[in-house]
A and B are shown apart, each in its own frame.
Chain A
């Protein structure tokens, strides 16, 4: 099977609707097919990556720690739009650290999150074969 470039675009806040959790599940399932997967977090989607989310008091499942498993699933290209962060009073330090181990570099631990400008993200979108929206 030829490898295709898949981009998952996440634009919804994590707990107000089911989109974020569904997207994460689909990404993990699709990762089993060893495609070239990238994730983009735009608009309220950037809230999905905030640190220290704890849904204990809401009685709903806390799926926030699952983002940290993305590296194990070889999902290592995570793009966050700078403009979306700034508009919301956020910076990269507010996001949870996400890492992967680089097989081609003696399993060195590397940062998966790339904060990119709108125009950089526009280029990334152009390069994809398949784009899925959540």
Chain B
């Protein structure tokens, strides 16, 4: 039963990823990526990770995809590159390299790694939200605090980057002789 769910979800995830790559419309790509993230969230549930299931839905499906969609709409960049690839030879090479990468991973994994050796005896509810929180706030407390600095840096960086436009306005304002020109620019 669990295997059937896994296979169906894996197929949905692969379909989402493939359709994201092929789709010509950036909005469609973002929505196919959402499908893929949802499928991966279901896999987290199968892997006894309810906390990550919820986090995946909130952060990836809720925040990141919405951010992508906002930017696509903001830029009006939904129609795509019209096949103006300046390095035309890059595409077949990329396909070969990707095939090699996959073959390599599968080979290493099937020949070198003995997965059965690392299997630990099952612990009931080893990753309940409570257990994750305990690990996060005791053993991994320092990295957890560092994430707050990372997020703060990201927030400040985004604010600085998007303030660039208003800086231009300020430059215009100091140079403009009449204020009507300024309001037009804005």
Same complex for A and B? Answer no
Give B contacts to A, CB under 8 Å: none
Give A contacts to B, CB under 8 Å: none
